[in-house]
């Protein structure tokens, strides 16, 4: 036992000795931006000098809601009368653009609307942190995921150069997500589109670009399958089915495999399609759902099952309310 403890301590000390300080990481980052992407050392140094370390960002990322809340609590945040009503109003105001996006990309209007509802309350809360501060803080002072956030900082500086923006101007979430759809910088560079043809990709103020960019993301990154269902409740799940749950949220189970285990669910995927079996902890016990490929497409936006389920259930509530409103006779 002493040898095991000693070995563990030696490994810990070696790791600590090899870990780089924030200043060393910044120096490496500057060199990479110069060598790989043609920046001058002066401009990268100036951008980093303008960034501020924000302690509240480190506190916020340590307690994400997905990890601290059960499904009942999480759902009560996002699937609410105000977000449903706000989604219907957003759909009404931007119906033509949403219809065009659905025609061109095959992504249902209610899914696009629900994403924006969950992310920023339809643009009402896009985050008040400077993106430069967020990515600098997490890239150089959050070792657990520092590499990821330094990569995002690299994308952000390239994005600012490409879009001719001062790096200190864009604002977003504590994690550096930007605009109404909360795109990370790499997602902006790859998936954002100029949906209204004005020559700019603006996901902060231009709702046409916001809608088109979310639809394009779902097709290109999420591999959205037009016309196919998303998810449905599962009945008959017991502790004996834990292995099916443990297979993960990415659809990998044959329909026959699930049905033969005594589990009933609807809707079903197209012939040959795969599904996943998901477990959600609620105030009243466990709740089970079957996810299809389009549920996993939502998870490509945020890889948490609770997030994807919130988007799906909000989208269904918005769709139903919008259809009801459209069916009502107009006044006068």
pLDDT digits (tens, 9 = 90+) for 43-69: 999 999 999 999 999 999 988 766 779
Residue 8 lies in a domain: no
The residue with tokens 């924000």 is 54
170-194: average pLDDT: 97
pLDDT greater than 80 at residue 294: yes
| pLDDT number for residue 15 | 46
pLDDT greater than 80 at residue 12: no
The residue with tokens 């924030």 is 22
| pLDDT number for residue 7 | 55
pLDDT greater than 90 at residue 228: yes
pLDDT band at 332 (very low <50, low <70, confident <90, very high): very low
| pLDDT number for residue 63 | 81
| Active-site residue, selected from the candidate residues 59, 66, 119, 228 | 119
Closest CA to 309 of 331, 322, 327, 292: 292
| pLDDT number for residue 19 | 83
Average pLDDT, rounded, for the chain:
93
In sequence order, the 6+-apart residues with CB closer than 8 A to the CB of 20 are 28
Residue 48 lies in a domain: yes
pLDDT in tens, 104-121: 999 999 999 999 999 999
Distance CA 79, CA 35 (A): 47
Question: Residue 47 belongs to what domain range?
Answer: 21-62+127-206
Active-site residue 119, yes or no?
yes
Residue 294 lies in a domain: no
Residue 148 lies in a domain: yes
pLDDT band at 17 (very low <50, low <70, confident <90, very high): very low
Distance CA 294, CA 228 (A): 7
| pLDDT number for residue 68 | 78
For residue 160, the domain's CATH number is 1.10.8.350
Residue 57 lies in a domain: yes
186-204: average pLDDT: 96
Looking at the structure of the chain, the number of domains it has is 1
| pLDDT number for residue 14 | 44
pLDDT greater than 60 at residue 1: no
Cα atoms in the Cβ-side hemisphere of radius 13 Å centred on 48: 25
| pLDDT number for residue 10 | 44
pLDDT band at 261 (very low <50, low <70, confident <90, very high): very high
pLDDT greater than 60 at residue 172: yes
pLDDT greater than 70 at residue 320: yes
Residue 115 lies in a domain: no
pLDDT band at 277 (very low <50, low <70, confident <90, very high): very high
Burial of residue 272 (number of CB atoms within 10 Å: 0-12, 13-18, 19+): exposed
Residue 161 lies in a domain: yes
Closest CA to 292 of 304, 279, 276: 276
280-285: average pLDDT: 94
Residue 236 lies in a domain: no
User: 180 is written with which tokens?
Assistant: 């109404």
């Amino acid at each position: 036992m002493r040898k095991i403890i000693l070995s563990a301590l030696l490994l810990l000390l070696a790791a600590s000795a090899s870990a780089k300080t924030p200043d060393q990481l910044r120096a490496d980052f500057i060199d990479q931006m110069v060598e790989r992407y043609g920046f001058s050392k002066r401009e990268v140094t100036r951008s980093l000098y303008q960034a501020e370390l924000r302690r509240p960002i480190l506190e916020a990322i340590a307690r994400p809601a997905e990890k601290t809340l059960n499904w009942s609590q999480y759902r009560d945040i996002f699937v609410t009368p105000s977000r449903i009503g706000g989604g219907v109003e957003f759909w009404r105001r931007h119906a033509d653009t949403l219809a065009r996006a659905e025609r061109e990309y095959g992504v249902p209007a209610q899914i696009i609307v629900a994403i924006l509802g969950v992310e920023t309350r339809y643009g009402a809360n896009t985050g008040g942190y400077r993106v430069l501060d967020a990515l600098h803080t997490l890239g150089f002072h959050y070792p657990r995921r520092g590499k990821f956030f330094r990569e995002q900082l690299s994308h952000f500086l390239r994005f600012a150069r490409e879009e001719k923006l001062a790096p200190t101007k864009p604002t977003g979430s504590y994690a550096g997500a930007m605009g109404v759809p909360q795109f990370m910088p790499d997602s902006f560079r790859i998936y954002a589109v100029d949906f209204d043809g004005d020559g700019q990709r603006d996901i902060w103020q231009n709702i046409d670009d916001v809608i088109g960019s979310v639809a394009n993301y779902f097709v290109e990154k999420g591999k959205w399958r037009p016309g196919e269902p998303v998810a449905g409740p599962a009945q008959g799940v017991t502790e004996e089915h834990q292995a099916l749950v443990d297979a993960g949220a990415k659809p990998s189970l044959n329909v026959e495999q699930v049905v033969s285990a005594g589990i009933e669910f609807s809707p079903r995927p197209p012939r040959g399609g795969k599904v996943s079996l998901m477990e959600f902890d609620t105030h009243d016990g466990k709740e089970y759902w079957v996810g299809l490929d389009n549920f996993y497409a939502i998870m490509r936006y945020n890889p948490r099952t609770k997030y994807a389920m919130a988007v799906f259930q909000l989208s269904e509530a918005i769709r139903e309310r919008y259809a009801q409103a459209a069916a009502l006779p107009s006044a006068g």
